[in-house]
Amino acid sequence: MAGTTWILLRGLVREQAHWDDFPERFAHALGSGHRIVCLDLPGNGQLHAQPSPARVDAMVDAARQQVRERGIRGPLRLVALSLGGMVAVQWLCNHPDEIEAVALINSSAARFSPFWKRLRPMNYASIVFQGLLGRDRLRRERMILRISTNLLNPEQRERLAERFTEVDRLRPVSAANTVRQLWAALRFRAPVALPPAVPVLVINGAGDRLVHPDCSRDLARHWQQPLLAHPDGGHDLSLDAPEWLARTLLRWWTEQGQMSPVDGSKRLA
């Protein structure tokens, strides 16, 4: 199986550092010949000083621009979490010739799921008062990890909270950019159907307490795509179950390669 580039896209107000060591674990699972590239959406990470687009379409344009600037040529395989999944879907729909495969992790879309499932009401107060309005970075990171992970022990969670607090200190996401990303996510309307001939896998954590697991089920059902669920995992499966996620992606892609040869004709325009 020929090697190619895997693009990893994070979710709302998160950046490439929030993958923690998942890229390394995934690279080890894949073996040689595969390149993994983590991108930041505008307003996050290395692009935190830029205004976040209020439309997912514009986020796609920004991601494609980064790929071009890095001299990366297709085919591209997208692995995308939450808001990143919406960007991946729009990228696939707008430029299907560039994409070889897409894996969507705990994502959602307004066309198929109500807003109260796409952002569960029990989290609204924490998101507003500790997220948007809160000034205590460590408390905010503890809150995010408490909502988005289920399987970390207290020591692991605290270690990540402290590390991510430093990430936020160095590359803070502004309140305005947080709101713009939320707005883009909440009004994202997925297509009725996806472009044919591009394999898509929907992945979710059955214990997701941020986005209802029904949202992934809705995507898989409406698009008639396979759904694989971790029985206990939370929203951020790359932190909660990184080895499971890496093995799941590898097994899925290996099965795709056995069913059909890699199409090397797909290249970034």
Write the pLDDT tens digit of every residue in 92-138: 999 999 999 999 999 999 999 998 998 887 766 667 656 666 678 99
The Cα–Cα gap between 211 and 83 comes to 11
Q: Judge contact between 178 and 168, C-beta under 8 A.
A: no
Residue 266 has pLDDT above 50, yes or no: no
Q: Please report which confidence band the pLDDT of residue 269 belongs to, taking 50, 70 and 90 as the band edges.
A: very low
Which pLDDT score, from 0 to 100, does residue 122 have?
A: 76
pLDDT reading at 156 higher than 60: yes
Name the residue with higher pLDDT: 261 or 66. 66
Q: Is pLDDT of 159 > 70? A: yes
Q: Which amino acid is at 51?
A: P
Q: What percent of the chain has pLDDT over 70?
A: 90
Which residues are CB-contacts of 170 (< 8 A; sequence separation ≥ 6)? none
Contacts of 70 (CB under 8 A, 6+ apart): 37
Token pair of 7 as six digits: 């693009």
Burial of 110 (0-12, 13-18, 19+ CB in 10 A): middle
Closest CA to 230 of 250, 245, 212, 216: 245
Helix residue ranges per DSSP H, the chain: 22-30, 56-69, 83-94, 115-118, 124-126, 137-148, 154-170, 175-186, 214-223, 237-240, 242-259
Say how many Å lie between the first and final Cα of the chain, rounded: 24
Instruction: State the pLDDT at residue 121.
Output: 74
Question: Given this model, what pLDDT does residue 4 score?
Answer: 84
pTM score, whole prediction: 0.91
Is 43 in a helix, a strand, or coil? coil
pLDDT digits (tens, 9 = 90+) for 226-245: 999 999 999 999 999 999 99
Mean pLDDT for the chain overall: 90
Q: Provide Rg for the chain, Cα atoms.
A: 17
Q: What domains can be seen in the chain, in order of their start residue?
A: 5-259 (3.40.50.1820)
What does the pLDDT look like over 22-46, one tens digit per residue? Answer: 999 999 999 988 999 999 999 999 9
- Length of the chain equals 269
Q: How many Å apart are CA 153 and CA 169, to the nearest integer?
A: 24
CA distance 24 to 19: 10
